[in-house]
């Protein structure tokens, strides 16, 4: 049993707004946070972690999306991952909240093994643990080495909602876990649609899907998570998609069309034969589309002409291969970083995860098991954990998918991933053990 007295948690330095942790286990953080009268947070989001807030003391206001709500003692708020939100304490009241953060906790029914996620009309989505059991109902060729995969719940049950930019993790029969963006309309609740490109340089995920996935196959699928959310406050949007990076952009364009927002798309591919979803884009309409195929133009896509200006209220969303992402960042260096949004599906070859000369050895202590290991400069933390029989679920092994996210109990993290936001990296509550390391001599992880 865990018990505490509230006063034990609300003595703090208001300049630091110290967080008082209650529980901190892998993929779950529970803490009490205090805000001074009038103190407010910036509008932000958590790409993977859902949040549950309980007001313990004081009054204030929260905003979730475009909705604003007054809060008071005993108020409880559920915020799914990817939803932009913020809060403010009232001018004459200190605000004390209990935060519980973990992937999937707002889908409460999916937490219990063998239970079901509510699905409407009396139907339920079968689950195993926290995974949905979905059926492959359609597989179609979209372009050279690109297929579209449709997933539905058996019996036509309603699926958990998602927002543009969201993705799901799929447990493949060959033992791999792979993450794929959702490309269909966010208002559709009966299916998830994925675009999957065959990669000859991968570790077998896309190859298995292209060669062996058939209609009728049942797959364990996570509830949707969003590390690439669309900011609805923008007045116009510029979308830059490279190759299969078009999939999350498709869902965003559908949202723009439905909400009357102006948008432009630059779609870069190596060859015209690899340009997927062109018919779908033409059907959506409402914006301008520029296709750049390297084999039909003089060289690779140059983002400079598209980013040289800085239209007021424009937000840029870019998803593509690492060289394209680097070129876009360089071309947009004069723009407000808050209006630039990126999602990697592969790590840059020269990024922070690939700089062995900067690596230093460190010690890692596993708080719950009491075991300690030395992590040499030439090995990743994940490799050391696996070598010593410590079970850690992983997928990309290059800091892009967030599967191996692990709670940090103590120590300073040297973040080398491409999925945590700058705010999350600064907080240091979690790390990607596949690529990130320690800035301090020792890390204590809640494993």
CATH code for the domain of 182: 2.40.30.10
In a domain, 1, yes or no: no
Contact between 433 and 392 (Cβ < 8 Å)? yes
Give the residue with greater pLDDT, 200 vs 264.
264
- The pLDDT assigned to 393 comes to 80
Is residue 319 over pLDDT 90?
yes
Give the residue with greater pLDDT, 77 vs 133.
133
Say whether both 330 and 407 belong to one domain. Answer: no
Question: What backbone torsions phi and psi does residue 232 show, to the nearest 5 degrees?
Answer: -75, -5
Contact between 232 and 65 (Cβ < 8 Å)? yes
User: Which whole number is the average pLDDT over 30-49?
Assistant: 74
Contact between 123 and 158 (Cβ < 8 Å)? yes
Distance CA 24, CA 430 (A): 10
- The pLDDT assigned to 299 comes to 79
Residue 175: left (phi > 0), alpha (psi -120 to 50), or beta?
Answer: left
User: Which whole number is the average pLDDT over 4-19?
Assistant: 45
Say whether both 291 and 386 belong to one domain. Answer: no
Say whether both 338 and 370 belong to one domain. Answer: no
In a domain, 113, yes or no: no
Domain end residue (candidates: 55, 87, 102)? 102
In a domain, 148, yes or no: yes
Give the residue with greater pLDDT, 66 vs 222.
222
* pLDDT tens per residue, range 272-313: 999 999 999 999 988 999 999 988 887 789 999 999 988 999
What is the C-alpha radius of gyration for the chain, rounded to an integer number of angstroms? 22
Say whether both 75 and 137 belong to one domain. Answer: no
- The pLDDT assigned to 118 comes to 38
- The pLDDT assigned to 352 comes to 58
User: Which whole number is the average pLDDT over 60-79?
Assistant: 81
Q: What angle do CA 187, 158, 112 make, to 5 degrees?
A: 125
Q: Which of 48-57, 110-119, 221-230 has the highest mean pLDDT?
A: 221-230
Q: How many CB atoms lie within 10 A of CB 415?
A: 22
CATH number for the domain that contains residue 327: 3.40.50.80
Say whether both 366 and 430 belong to one domain. Answer: yes
* pLDDT tens per residue, range 335-387: 998 899 999 877 666 555 555 567 899 999 998 788 999 999 999 999 999 99
CATH number for the domain that contains residue 368: 3.10.20.30
Its domain, for residue 325, covers 236-344
Say whether both 91 and 10 belong to one domain. Answer: yes
- The pLDDT assigned to 29 comes to 67
Is residue 407 over pLDDT 50?
yes
In a domain, 137, yes or no: yes
Mean pLDDT of the chain: 82
Q: How many CB atoms lie within 10 A of CB 395?
A: 20
Contact between 413 and 28 (Cβ < 8 Å)? no
Distance CA 234, CA 85 (A): 16
The structural domain count of the chain equals 4
pTM of the model: 0.68
Q: How many CB atoms lie within 10 A of CB 390?
A: 17
Question: What backbone torsions phi and psi does residue 89 show, to the nearest 5 degrees?
Answer: -80, 150
Is residue 429 over pLDDT 60?
yes
CATH number for the domain that contains residue 97: 2.60.120.10
Say whether both 279 and 200 belong to one domain. Answer: no
Say whether both 337 and 365 belong to one domain. Answer: no
Say whether both 263 and 317 belong to one domain. Answer: yes
- The pLDDT assigned to 202 comes to 62
Distance CA 201, CA 392 (A): 24
What share of the chain has pLDDT > 90, as a percent? 41
Say whether both 28 and 64 belong to one domain. Answer: yes
């Amino acid at each position: 049993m865990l018990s505490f007295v509230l006063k034990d948690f609300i003595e703090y330095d208001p300049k630091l707004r110290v967080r008082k942790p209650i529980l901190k286990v892998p993929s779950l953080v529970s803490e009490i946070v205090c805000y001074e009268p009038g103190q407010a947070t910036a509008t932000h989001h958590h790409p993977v972690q859902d949040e549950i807030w309980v007001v313990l003391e004081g009054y204030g206001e929260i905003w979730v999306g475009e909705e604003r709500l007054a809060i008071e003692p005993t108020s409880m708020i559920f915020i799914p991952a990817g939803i932009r939100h913020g809060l403010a304490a009232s001018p004459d009241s200190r605000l004390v909240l209990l935060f519980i953060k973990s992937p999937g906790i707002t889908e409460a029914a999916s937490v219990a093994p063998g239970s079901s996620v509510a699905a409407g009309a009396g139907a339920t989505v079968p689950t195993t643990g926290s995974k949905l059991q979905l059926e492959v109902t359609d597989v179609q060729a979209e372009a050279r080495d690109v297929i579209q995969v449709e997933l539905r719940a058996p019996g036509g049950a309603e699926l958990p909602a998602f927002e543009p930019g969201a993705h799901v993790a799929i447990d493949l029969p060959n033992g791999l876990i792979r993450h794929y963006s959702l490309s269909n309309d966010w208002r559709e609740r009966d299916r998830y649609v994925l675009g999957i490109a065959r990669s000859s340089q991968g570790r077998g995920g896309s190859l298995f899907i292209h060669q062996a996935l058939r209609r009728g196959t049942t797959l364990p699928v996570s509830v949707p998570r969003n590390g690439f959310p669309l900011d609805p406050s923008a007045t116009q949007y510029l979308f830059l998609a490279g190759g299969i990076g078009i999939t999350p952009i498709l869902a965003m364009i559908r949202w723009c069309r439905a909400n009357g927002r102006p948008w432009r798309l630059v779609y870069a591919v190596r060859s015209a034969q690899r340009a997927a979803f062109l018919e779908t884009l033409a059907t959506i309409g409402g914006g301008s589309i520029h296709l750049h195929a390297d084999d039909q133009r003089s060289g690779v896509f140059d983002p400079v002409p598209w980013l040289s200006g800085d239209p007021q209220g424009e937000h840029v969303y870019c998803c593509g291969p690492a060289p394209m992402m680097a070129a876009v960042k360089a071309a947009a260096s004069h723009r407000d970083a808050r209006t630039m949004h990126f999602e990697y599906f592969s790590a840059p070859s020269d990024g922070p995860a690939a700089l062995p000369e900067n690596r230093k050895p460190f010690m890692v202590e596993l708080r719950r098991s009491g075991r300690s290991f030395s992590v040499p400069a030439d090995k990743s933390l994940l490799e050391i954990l696996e070598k010593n029989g410590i079970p850690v679920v992983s997928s990309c092994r290059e800091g892009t998918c967030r599967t191996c996210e692990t709670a940090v109990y103590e120590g300073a993290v040297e973040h080398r991933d491409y999925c945590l936001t700058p705010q999350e990296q600064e907080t240091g509550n979690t790390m990607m053990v596949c690529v990130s390391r320690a800035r301090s001599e020792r890390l204590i992880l809640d494993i």
